[in-house]
Amino acid sequence: MPFLTAKQIHDGNCWLPEGSVIEVSDDGVIISVLDTPVMDAVFYEGVLAPGFVNAHCHLELSHMKGLVPTHTGLIPFLKNIPQHRNDYIDDQKRMARNSGHDELVRNGIVAVGDIANTNDTMDVRSLDKLHFYTFVESIGFTEANAERSFGYAVQTYNTFATQQSANKVLKQAIVPHAPYSVSSSLFRLIDMHREDVIISIHNQESEEENKYYTSKEGEVTGLLLALGIDDSFFYPTGRSSIQSYLDWMSQHHPFIFVHNTYTKHLDVQYAHSRLNEVYWCLCPNANMYIENKLPDINMFISEEANICIGTDSLASNHQLCILSELYTIKEHYPALSWELLLSWGTRNGAQALQMQHTIGTIEPGKTPGIIQLTGLDTANAKPLVKRII
Ligand SMILES: [Zn+2]
């Protein structure tokens, strides 16, 4: 199958001229992109595009599908997770994890930024289909316990680091869970662990997080109490969460801020002015599941933000599908073009995970995977995705 063409081809950046042809080797390496027709090219209906990148997932939580009710708001959702996450035996978790992995592959995803609290996902990382950047999440709000919390994350990180693959990307980093669950000391330890790694963090997923940092009001204290944490040491900063915790992090890490449902102009400007490389990962279906609210996407566009897309976990989503995430954005923001949305789901995701040299765009030398999309502009029906290469 050396030459492929379609009604429309999106190369990860934009639409290619009509009649363009992709030349690809049997093992998926792009050989050339031609802007003139080729006689024996295989023609596909709909759109051809590079494989999707899921910049935020939790394959580890796949067994929690359908367990937590929708629209509870973030704080009740978070209280639900620890109650249920260990209700299952290892075999059930393993099967759910594998089926989550297969769902990602089926939905045309070629790489995943995957959150881990344990080493459970070593098995799916060892499969051949997906590139992984595993974010080992460190949690601990009590200042005095920072070393202990960090030590646990280092152990998990080190075990992941023993895993290697000759034919795909396999990376890992220790990252903070969220502003309300990581102390300033733990932020600093995470920051200093490895200079060259990505920092990914759940950011401003709830207005309660901003209230807590600004004035120590709202529901976060109740959440911490329910988790047995005494927060009497915490003093509000008078600023939003992101404008507070970035004081404890260095600018040299690439950052992926995830969710951003309650992020404002000033927060984006603050991050852009302070950090070298910033990506804003939107998980619209999870936002609708938990908070029934989407981030202010036009605000991010007006700030020229790099937007990428994640699914979050099956605890807060009905599927692991980047096309479904883009479709939800398109439903709420019909003026946004598929040309722009597809670049968020492909090129920007690859850049966010620092995998742009391998995937994300259809360019000679890369192995991005090729997907076929049909029904993008069909009214009242969800579009479909199929992996071609
Ligand atoms: Zn998440």
DSSP string, 77-105: HHHHHHHHTTSS-HHHHHHHHHHHHHHHH
pLDDT at 173: 98
42 band by pLDDT with thresholds 50, 70 and 90: very high
Above 80 in pLDDT, residue 380?
A: no
pLDDT at 191: 98
pTM of the model: 0.97
CATH topology of domain 1-49+361-389: Urease, subunit C; domain 1 (2.30.40)
87 band by pLDDT with thresholds 50, 70 and 90: confident
354 phi, psi to nearest 5 deg: 60, 35
* 199-to-229, 311, 357 alpha-carbon distances in Å: 25, 18, 20
Q: Which among 169, 155, 348 is positioned nearest to 254, based on CA atoms?
A: 348
* Average of per-residue pLDDT across 166-189: 96
pLDDT at 369: 98
Q: What is the pLDDT of residues 294-319, one digit of tens each?
A: 999 999 999 999 999 999 999 889 99
- What is the C-alpha separation between 278 and 298, in angstroms, rounded? 17
Ligand 1 centroid, distance to 202 Cα (angstroms): 6
Residues of the chain with pLDDT > 70, as a percent, come to 99
1 band by pLDDT with thresholds 50, 70 and 90: low
Ligand 1 centroid, distance to 45 Cα (angstroms): 35
* Average of per-residue pLDDT across 208-219: 94
Query: What is the domain partition of the chain in residue ranges?
Result: 1-49+361-389, 52-359
Ligand 1 centroid, distance to 239 Cα (angstroms): 23
- What is the C-alpha separation between 20 and 1, in angstroms, rounded? 16
Above 80 in pLDDT, residue 206?
A: yes
Strand-pairing partners, residue 182, are: 140
- What is the C-alpha separation between 98 and 124, in angstroms, rounded? 6
pLDDT at 88: 82
* Average of per-residue pLDDT across 214-222: 92
Q: What is the pLDDT of residues 329-374, one digit of tens each?
A: 999 999 999 999 999 999 999 999 999 999 999 999 999 999 999 9
* Average of per-residue pLDDT across 199-227: 93
* 3 state SS of 365: coil
Q: Count CB atoms within 10 A of the CB of residue 353.
A: 28
Ligand 1 centroid, distance to 255 Cα (angstroms): 15
Higher pLDDT, 279 or 196: 279
- What is the C-alpha separation between 245 and 89, in angstroms, rounded? 37
Architecture of domain 52-359: Alpha-Beta Barrel (3.20)
Above 90 in pLDDT, residue 49?
A: yes
Ligand 1 centroid, distance to 284 Cα (angstroms): 12
Q: Please, which residues have CB within 8 angstroms of residue 273's CB and are 6 or more apart in sequence?
A: none
- What is the C-alpha separation between 176 and 200, in angstroms, rounded? 7
Ligand 1 centroid, distance to 302 Cα (angstroms): 25
Ligand 1 centroid, distance to 312 Cα (angstroms): 5
Q: What is the pLDDT of residues 100-113, one digit of tens each?
A: 999 999 999 999 99
Torsion of CA 263, 269, 272, 278, to 10 degrees: 20
- What is the C-alpha separation between 61 and 58, in angstroms, rounded? 6
Above 70 in pLDDT, residue 11?
A: yes
Above 70 in pLDDT, residue 85?
A: no
261 within 8 A of 204, measured Cβ to Cβ:
yes
- What is the C-alpha separation between 246 and 270, in angstroms, rounded? 9
341 phi, psi to nearest 5 deg: -60, -40
Burial of 272 (0-12, 13-18, 19+ CB in 10 A): middle
237 band by pLDDT with thresholds 50, 70 and 90: very high
173 within 8 A of 197, measured Cβ to Cβ:
yes
- What is the C-alpha separation between 30 and 78, in angstroms, rounded? 43
Ligand 1 centroid, distance to 178 Cα (angstroms): 9
Ligand 1 centroid, distance to 242 Cα (angstroms): 17
